[in-house]
Amino acid sequence: MRLAIAMVWAAFAAAVHGQDCAPVRLMASTTVSGSLDASSCLLSDGTAYQAYRLVLPDRGAVQIALGNTTNNLFLILRDGSGAQIASGLSIQQPIEAGSYLLLVNGQTPGQVGGYTIQTSFTPEPGMVCANFDSIGLDDSIAGWLGVSGCSLPSGTAYEAYSLTTLGSGTLSVSVSSSDFTPVIIVRQADGTAVASGGAVEAAVYAGTSYQILISTADVAGAYQVSTSFQPAATETCVPQATYSASGSDNSTVTNASCTATGADGGLTYFTYYNLSLSAAGLADLSAASSDFIPTLYLLDQSGNLLASDSGGGGGTAPQSIAEIRTQLAPGNYTVEIVSTAGTGGGYAFNYQFTAGLPQACALNGGTPAGVLTGTLGAASCRDYSLGLTDLYSVTLPAAGTLTATISSGAFPTRLAFRDSKDNLILRNEDDAGLGATQLSTELPAGTYTVAAAAISGAGAYQLTTNFTAQPVTPCTYIQPVDSNGGYIADLGEGSCQGANGQPLDLYQFTLPEAGVALAVMTSSQVDGHLTLTDASGNFLRSDENSYAPGDPLIIEYLPAGTYQLQANAAATTAGGYYEVDVRTTAGPRPPFCIPQAGLTAGGSVNATLTYTSCQYTDSTFADIYGFTLNAAATANLALTTTAFSGYLILLDGSGNVLTTGDSGGTASASIQQALPAGTYYVVAKAEPYSGYYNSVGGYTLSLATGQ
């Protein structure tokens, strides 16, 4: 079936597409009220929505209910990629640690009104919390101690936030609560404490990440945490200006400007501006330079990235223009102008603000007959996850294979397929610099969006589409796998189709009694993704990269029963050989990351690191032990092993890192540290980031003390 017959492309000059509106912070256990009205942003189908950001540092189970509404509103829960996880009036879902987007949305255009959202979260015990929500340098956040399930080694509950500095100076943190007496800890990224107390002031370095922990020795409850920052007297990384209305500036990025470490480990240099909005409206930000290629970053008050662009404003060589155009709510924001070149150079910054309701973004007109030409430029739409974007609506009258290819000699390309509610189905990009990007997937009949986007830059492109009507391949065959066995397969050869239309293989294993199950997918050809479900297909766990880059690992304590594994490609380029392995250990639930007893002065423990141990935050297995010194002493800790490269971490009673001991080129590791009387913890493990596969085996841990 040819394209002109199979597809109906939207060609309405004034049709709207989804605007990206910054999400509101949502706690894991809370009740909030809101409303959808004429000021709400819209999805591509013209329905109003309100977005919330939910950040979970621990995995567990989330319950979300929508209430107090007489309108036909419902919830959509998306993962970090934008794919839908669940939807409905209520959501009950096992969930991984990470960042999620929750939308309150109308079923059809025009459905608006008030609502309440009630959330609750049941954390998985014995896990190490990581990936905390962000807090800004001058910020104030309401929270509730105990909602995340995070606990110090002592078992004391805590909440934590991630903070990244711009320049060096003094960071002040205070917490107020009528429910408990707070204790604040400011830690560096390596876990060492730089300040602690009821209210703290800490000297912080430029371009550095910190953690702010809030705990208590008494009951949990509500609190308000506030931060403020005073730059050092000699600090040059300060705002170029603060704008409460439209404005412009001419300045220079130099090697004396602000610095940050780039993804490749090199330094990037930037200047920044603060924005203060008293009303909602459209912000149009641009940076033009003939000396360097500028990149723009827009962040909210807490440091969350809202939008970015490089070259999206066009420009004629040698000038390059970066531009961000997005709807913003009242509040404070930061704009960074970044140069990856150490020399930097001069630039012109322009900020235009227009107060008012969200602005519609028009779809391109015309009905393509297989090939469409277009141009991404300053007038194009901006999409948070894709960048500079043109969107096209397509209706498939029957199930079949939809294929799209975007090619451009002006910019590196991206493509995405989304459903009618803008949930991501599939995406791909030209990260290899081949000049073209293709997507092909099997979809049921329905209306979808094809997004043609630029990774960076702007210019002309060609979009080629094709559709072949054919039945979607159902998933009927399930390959049995022994509970301590494996299976080698070729993804794509005989595979069925997953929810995103890509090849999927199903496996099944049975636990005759309760125990810990490990499932791992390894391949040199497939960027793997594993999903664990119960026998009815209900989601339990998923993973992509825990075992190694591109190799997923799932470890879960399960009751006796039958379970399924879904193996597919995480990336859109599917196909190739892979292996799925399952290992199980029957017995009661292990402590995982809960500290164990048994280590005493003058004594030792013999144990084995394996998948029933703690999954530490640096991709290794670990065992954690507590010990108490009744008087001041020098603690001599020794880890002896021939199975892996040993590593020790000594923690104080609050879980702060005191010191570490590595193997020094041998398998064993040791620590010698003078300590006052108190309770301490030691983490016995392999060298950081050596991989789970290199962090298993037997060891002996001993503790000797001296004066």
pLDDT, tens digit, 9 for 90 and up, residues 46-83: 899 999 999 999 999 999 999 988 788 999 999 999 99
Concatenated DSSP letters of 662-700: E-TTSS-EEEEEEE-SEEEEEEEEESTTS-GGGS-EEEE
Set out the domains of the chain in order of their start, with CATH numbers.
24-123 (2.60.120.380), 133-231 (2.60.120.380), 242-355 (2.60.120.380), 371-469 (2.60.120.380), 479-586 (2.60.120.380), 603-706 (2.60.120.380)
Cα pseudo-dihedral 516, 522, 527, 528, rounded to 10: -30
* Secondary structure (3-state) at 162: strand
State how far Cα 320 lies from the chain centre. 30
pLDDT-flagged residues of the chain (< 50) = 1-18, 365-369
Residue 241's contacts (CB-CB under 8 Å, 6 or more residues apart) are 247, 249, 273, 274
d(CA 658, CA 654): 11
Q: Kind and range of the H or E element at 462?
A: strand 459-469
CB atoms within 10 A of CB 431: 11
* Secondary structure (3-state) at 659: strand
* Secondary structure (3-state) at 263: coil
d(CA 128, CA 592): 9
Any idea what DSSP says for residue 551?
B
**Cβ(670)–Cβ(635) under 8 Å?**
no
Backbone angles phi, psi at 81, to 5 degrees: -85, -15
State how far Cα 497 lies from the chain centre. 26
d(CA 610, CA 625): 16
d(CA 539, CA 564): 10
Residue 590's contacts (CB-CB under 8 Å, 6 or more residues apart) are 126, 516, 557, 612, 613
CB atoms within 10 A of CB 48: 23
Vertex 595: Cα angle to 589 and 597 (nearest 5)? 95
Pairing of strands 576-586, 539-543: unpaired
Residue 423's contacts (CB-CB under 8 Å, 6 or more residues apart) are 76, 78, 82, 83, 84
d(CA 79, CA 460): 32
Q: Kind and range of the H or E element at 6?
A: helix 3-6
Give the pLDDT score at 366: 40
Exposed (0-12), middle (13-18) or buried (19+): which is 659, by Cβ within 10 Å?
Answer: middle
d(CA 7, CA 29): 44
**Cβ(424)–Cβ(83) under 8 Å?**
yes
pTM equals 0.93
Beta-bridge partner residues of 531: 542, 566
**Cβ(34)–Cβ(21) under 8 Å?**
no
CB atoms within 10 A of CB 704: 15
Closest CA to 105 of 151, 61, 45, 62: 45
Give the pLDDT score at 365: 46
| Tens-place pLDDT, residues 658-706 | 999 987 767 899 999 999 999 999 999 999 999 999 999 999 999 999 8
Any idea what DSSP says for residue 471?
P
Give the pLDDT score at 71: 82
Cα within 13 Å of Cα(396), Cβ side: 28
